[in-house]
Amino acid sequence: MNLLSKIGQLIMVGFEGPSPSDDLLEFFKDFPFGGVILFSRNYKDKGQVRNLCSTIQEWNLRYNPGAPPLFIGVDQEGGRVKRFGPPFIESPPNRTWGELNAPEKTRENARAVGKELRDSGLNINFAPVLDVDTNPDNPIIGDRSYGPDPLLVSRHGVAAIQGFMEGGVFPVGKHFPGHGHTSLDSHACLPEVDTSMKQMAKVELVPFVNGIKGGLEMLMSAHVVYKNIDPQCAATFSRRILTGLLREEMGFKGLVFSDDMEMGAVPECHDFPEACVRAVEAGCDILLICRDREKQETAFRSLQNAVKSGRIQEKRIDESLERVMRLKNRLTV
C-alpha cells in the first residue's frame, strides 16, 4: 500500500442518506477510507441496508483492487441507542438485562442482533457499553450501562461480547477507560473525572479487563479527562492511557477506535487537524469521523503531513495497519 491507502485504513467515515451518493464515490476515489459507520439517516429497511453495504463493498473492490474489505459498523446497543428500527430486533436497554441478571439471555440476544447485522452486510457493532453507572446524574450513560456493579457489568458485558461474535460481528467495548462517573456529556463538552487510579482499578476498569479476557478485540476511547491518570489530555489523546495503561499494563492487542472526532469535547482539547494527529500518536488505530466531509478530508491530509514531516513515523501507521489487517483478514464479504 502507498501512504494514502495505509492512512485510509485508519479512517472510518459516515455520510448522509440511505444510498451512496456520487459525491461520496468521488471522495472515496481520492481518499480510500477503510470503513463506514451507519446511522438512522442511512436506514430505510433491511433490504436497503443490505444493498447499501453491498454497493460500498463493491466500490472498494472496483476502485482499490487488492484492498481488504471495508469495516461497516453501527451503534446497535438497544434501548435509546439503536440506529436501525423495525423490523430489526427491538432490544431493551442494557439496564434491563442487568436487572434481569441472566447473562445467558444477554448472550442470546446479542447473538441474534449480531446475526441480523451480519446478514445485512455489517461486520461491526459499536457495543456493548462497558461503563459502570456510578453517577446517577450522568447525562449520557444511565440505562445504557448494565448497572452500578462492576462485576455485574463484567458478566453481562462478556456475555454480549461473546454473543455478538457468535452472531458474526466484531463487538466494540466502550468507552475506555470508563464514562460512567462523568457529570457531563462528551457529545457537547469535555468531561473531567477525578477518580483515583486505585478506585478506577476497582470499578471502571474491571469490565474492560474482563472483556479483554473474554475475547474482546475492539475498544472505543472516551473523550474524557481522567485527572489522576493524565490531567493534560482526554483519553483519546493520551498516550499514557491508550498505550501505557491499555496496551502495556492491560495487555490489549486489538484495535482502538476513537469516539466520534466531531463531538463537542474534541475542540476543547485541540483543533481538528491536531486532534487527528494526537489521537494516532496516543494509540488510536481508527478515527471515527461520522458526518463532515471536509473534516474527513482534513484527517487524511493531517496524517499524511505528519508522516511526511517526520512527526509520526510511518512505522507507527504500520503498527495500526497490522492490527487492522489482522482482523480484516477474518472478514468475508
Which of 45, 149, 185, 187 is catalytic? The answer is 187
Which of 133, 259, 260, 285 is catalytic? The answer is 259
**CA distances (Å), 223 to each of 16, 179, 274, 283, in order?**
24, 9, 15, 14
Q: Between the CA atoms of 153, 158, 161 and 166, what dihedral angle is there, to the nearest 10 degrees?
A: -140
**CA distances (Å), 64 to each of 30, 50, 158, 288, 306, in order?**
11, 21, 36, 21, 24
H/E element holding 324?
helix 314-328
Phi-psi region of 305 (alpha: psi -120 to 50; beta: other; left: phi over 0): alpha
How far apart CA 242 and CA 255 sit, in angstroms, is 11
3-class secondary structure, 169: coil
* Active-site residue, 259 included: yes
Within 214-292, residue ranges assigned H as helices are 239, 272-282
Q: Residue 226 forms beta bridges with which residues?
A: 193
Closest CA to 273 of 306, 248, 250: 306
* Active-site residue, 175 included: no
CA angle at residue 111 from 73 to 59, to 5 degrees? 30
Catalytic residues: 187, 259
